[in-house]
A and B are shown apart, each in its own frame.
Chain A
Amino acid sequence: MRQSGMALISALIFLLVMLLIVSANLFISQMSIKSAQAAQQQLLFEQQALAAHLSSVSAATSDSSEVELAEVSRCPASYAIWSDSIIQCDVLTLATRLLSDDSRFATSYSSMLLRQRLVPGEVLDVE
């Protein structure tokens, strides 16, 4: 009787230890899934932010909106050069920022853009 009691207690202790090991494993695997998803979510979020940034870059360059922040005094080096009196170059910086819905992720992108434009009055239209 006493021996079977000992066996029962041993079995219970064994089961308890096993339960602890299994639940720890389960907890760890849940955490790794969460962390893996978080990284994936962040990647997706950054891709979304970059796509939004690039679309605003193309929107800014397609119309003549003024996003002017900096101006250079001359055009950068090139092969097919123009006289300074005809062409004018500006360097503009466009920055966009995106915050995720749950406010857990935030990212911002900036682009340096070069705008070359003809000096007003130096190019005539056909009358």
Chain B
Amino acid sequence: MTAVEAVALRRTYDLGRGRGGGQREVVALHALDFRVDEGTVHGLLGPNGAGKTTLCKILATVLLPTSGGVRVFGNDVVSRTRQVRQSVGVVFGGERGLYSRLTARQNLHYWCALYGLPRRALLARTEMLLARVGLSERSDEKVDGFSRGMKQRLHLARGLVGDPRLLLLDEPTTGMDPVAARDFRLLVAELRAEGRTILLTTHDMAEAEAVCDRVTLIDGGRALATEHPRALGALVSRNERIEFDSPTADALPGLPALPGVVAVTTLSPGRYRVETTATEATKAVIGLLLDRGATSLTTTRPGLEEVYLKLIGNRGMEVGR
């Protein structure tokens, strides 16, 4: 079943009248076609201003599309808002979004009640979620004393209070230390194993590669590509790659002339990469390199980060519109 289906989804923001008197608007989503299969972890990657959060907000029903259609488990987000809200849990990024003067437990009690849970179920769900995100021992402390990472965990627990079929995670690991981020990935895997669908927006390529079944690259409100994270590499290059160390460059002579070798590049002093068009050529290159004493040999394909930079471009600090 399809968990999320957006067809020609467009969202604009009115910026008021410009100096010339004309109406100004910014297009956040530009006729976006998008689909997430049920039970999968789908990553949404893109630079700032790409439209990721706008899409999440539309799916969370706090924002209406300007045109086009979006369905969550077959329910239209505009006409069947209540059904959508019952099936979706939202974790917006950042430190805000919690009652900082209350404890973690009091926060979760309230959010559980808003999903209509009876008292006993509410208490049990709260304890289960606190344990799940590792906050049981700090559950009676006020949230404003929490670290950023702890707040993110509580956000995650809050997103799960309604036992959602679809969980929207808008940059959920921001501020988490590496151990917490690893635990988060394990939790995402658990949630997936429970049959939940997860839509994850992130800038973290390693995270996307680690947890996502599919990834959509989005920029300027348009989906550039949707693929399995590893398959996305083929969009950049179909070549196989061998990377190796050769401090004195003894391994290099004659390499470019070998059949099937298309490029030899220097990655850093003493570190090189050879690209080949076929597995047979790769075998021949590896054999030669071993004979010539090359070390630290690895075969690779383009990673998600490379694909991201290739398709979206390296725009430095610039924010997309």
Q: A and B bound?
A: no
